[in-house]
Structure formats: structure tokens, C-alpha cells
Amino acid sequence: MNRVPLIQSPTPLHRLDRLSSELGLDLWIKRDDLTGFAFGGNKGRKLEYLIGDVLASKAEVVVTCGSAQSNFIRQLGAACARFDIECAAAVMDLPYEDSQPAGHVSSSSGNVLLDRILGVRLVEMPDGTWEELYAAAESLALSYEAMGRSVYRIPIGGSSPLGAYGFLMAAEELKAQADPFNHVVFASSSGSTHCGLRHGFFGTSTEILGIACDPEPEIADDFAELASGLEALAGLASHLEPEDFVLDFRFVGPGYGVASEEGDAAIVRLARAEGIFLDPIYSGKAFAGLLRLAEEGRVSGRVLFWHTGGLPSLFV
């Protein structure tokens, strides 16, 4: 695998003392908000392998898609800037599956501001379905190819098998850093974080528990398909089915990309107890999930919250 170092690793791991005693847990946090790369976040790990492959392919342009507030596009834009590769993305403010959630996002602040500074070409589409967004990305890629430029396509959130490989390696990083945890809780969406961690802890006593930030239960099928790609890429003997992915869908709130009341309350709770910030679209909802799972007794003992970053969208 061609790896280009982008992040400072291992990322810090530490105990949350006040919340541990408040919740009756031995609660730890893995700080992927502190990767030291382009405002942090889980996408840096995927990009070390994705950019390695982009460079090997000698592509001139990278094309992807996402919501306008995508943390992936921001980190991809930074990686592309470093290697003088053009970065273009089809974006919608709030893409959806069946019906649009009520909510509003600013399309000039947060990640969009950072994308502009980085020189990312954002092709803004009217809001529509995920399928429409993927089709817009494909037409964007074809338009570059029609101009004779070579294009590398990256799926939403960097969730290709190579992206998942970044999180397979992250699992090894954690194992080398600490004694085993009973549960690892994190925000799950496009799936490569979940696939990499699930495979990395396959056959161990550590439960990998994703808090879904997307309301569609079918994402477990997509995750299993992505996991097969990772199995082939990394030559893994383990195999995952959709039911191997533990996902809790209760904390999505109004919809993908829209803040929830419980998530916002969790942001305030972690900030006031430990001085650590979360974001409203992913990590805040995931932490709300962890708080509730602790209250329900569904998680106990040594629990790890994997902070996946996302901080620029606090300023949206």
C-alpha cells in the first residue's frame, strides 16, 4: 500500500476523569480531532492511503462529492494542495434519501470557507437525493476527461477499500496504545471508519458500536460491500455480513447534516466537563448516543469514545 504521511500519529488517547465518575464508566477518548492535519478529523487516516494511490496513478484531478459542509472535502482539498493536484467536488447543502429534512446550513462558513481558502472547486448543486449527487460527481469527472485530463474518482467520505484500510491500521494503533476496551463508540456514516475498525477488532472481545448519523438502515448492506472490498485489498481471512455492523439509529435527529437537540446538549456536556469540543453533525450525535447507552447500562466498564473531528461545522 502506498502511504503518504499526513497526520501526526498515534493520535492522543486519554481518560475522561470527570465523566468517568459521573457515568460510572472507565471512559477514554481517542483524539482524531487532533491529527494536526487541516483542522483534524478521521478523514486524514483514509487520505494517507488514498493520496498515495492518487500519486501512483499520476492523475491530474481528483473528483469527489459530499454535502457542502463535508469534512472529507476539506481534508482532501488540503492533501491535494500539498501535492499540487486539482481538487473538485460536487456538493449539495443537504442531500437526502427520500425526503429532505427540515434544517438550514450556511454555504459560506465552516468547511466551505476552508475549501475556498484551499482552492477546492466546489460545484454547487440544488439539494436533491444522494443518487443525484453521485451522478453530478460523475458528470464532473467526465467533463474533465473530455478536456483530456486524467481523473481519480473518490467516493463520498473517502469510503473506498483504501479509505477503510486507513482505519484497519487505526485499530492496530489503538491496540498498541492501551489495554483492550469493552466498547468503542463513534459516529458512523459513509462506512470506512466502521469497516476498518470492525475488521481490525474481528475476533476480539471489543465491541465496535457505531452511532449512525444517516437515517437509512440499509447502510449496513453498503458497509458489508465495502468490507468485502477491504477483505480483498488487505487479504483478510475474516468476512463480515450486514448484521456484523452494530449501528444505533436513535440519534440521527432531524436528518443527515442537521443538528439535533440531544447532540447539541452532548456538545455542551463534554465541553463543560472536560473542555473538549464536538461537532453538531457527527461527533455530538455520537456522544449523545454514548451518554444514553451508559444510562441504559448497554455499555459498561472500559469504554472508548473515538472522536472523529468535524470541528469547523461548529461555526456554521
Ligand X SMILES: *Cc1c(COP(=O)(O)O)cnc(C)c1O
Residues designated as active site: 70
Residues between 54 and 73 that touch ligand X (CB under 6 A): 71-72
297 vs 22: CA distance, rounded Å: 14
Minimum distance from CB of 71 to ligand X (Å)?
3
The answer to whether residues 199 and 235 touch, using CB atoms and an 8 Å cutoff, is: no
Grid coordinates representing 97 are: 434519501
Laid out side by side, the sheet with 121-124 consists of 121-124, 86-92, 61-67, 151-153
- 110 counts as binding ligand X under rule CB under 6 A: no
The beta strand positions in the chain, using DSSP E, are: 13-15, 26-31, 61-67, 86-92, 121-124, 151-153, 183-188, 207-212, 246-248, 302-307
Q: Which residue is nearest to ligand X (CB)?
A: 310
From 91-99, 190-198, 226-234, 261-269, span contacting ligand X (CB under 6 A): 190-198
**CB closer to ligand X, 33 vs 231:** 33
Minimum distance from CB of 131 to ligand X (Å)?
18
Helix (H, G, I), strand (E, B) or coil at 179: coil
**CB closer to ligand X, 35 vs 308:** 308
244 backbone dihedrals φ, ψ, rounded to 5°: -80, -10
Given candidates 187, 224, 276, 316, which one binds ligand X under the rule CB under 6 A? 187
Residues between 15 and 44 that touch ligand X (CB under 6 A): 41-42
The answer to whether residues 76 and 68 touch, using CB atoms and an 8 Å cutoff, is: no
Q: Residue 308 belongs to what H/E stretch?
A: none
Residues between 118 and 147 that touch ligand X (CB under 6 A): none
- 310 counts as binding ligand X under rule CB under 6 A: yes
Helices and strands, number each (H, E), in the chain? 10, 10
- 192 counts as binding ligand X under rule CB under 6 A: yes
Q: Whole-angstrom distance between the N-terminal and C-terminal Cα of the chain?
A: 36
**CB closer to ligand X, 77 vs 157:** 157
The label of the residue with cell 438550514 reads 104
- DSSP annotation of 39 reads T
- 11 counts as binding ligand X under rule CB under 6 A: no
- DSSP annotation of 260 reads -
Given candidates 77, 191, 257, 284, which one binds ligand X under the rule CB under 6 A? 191
- 48 counts as binding ligand X under rule CB under 6 A: no
Grid coordinates representing 254 are: 432531524
Per-residue x/- track, 144-183, ligand X (CB under 6 A) = -------------x-x------------------------
Per-residue x/- track, 214-243, ligand X (CB under 6 A) = ------------------------------
**CB closer to ligand X, 26 vs 97:** 97
Given candidates 283, 288, 293, 302, which one binds ligand X under the rule CB under 6 A? 283
**CB closer to ligand X, 231 vs 263:** 263
Cβ partners under 8 Å of residue 21, min gap 6: none
Contacts with ligand X by CB under 6 A lie at: 41-42, 71-72, 157, 159, 187-194, 279, 282-283, 308-310
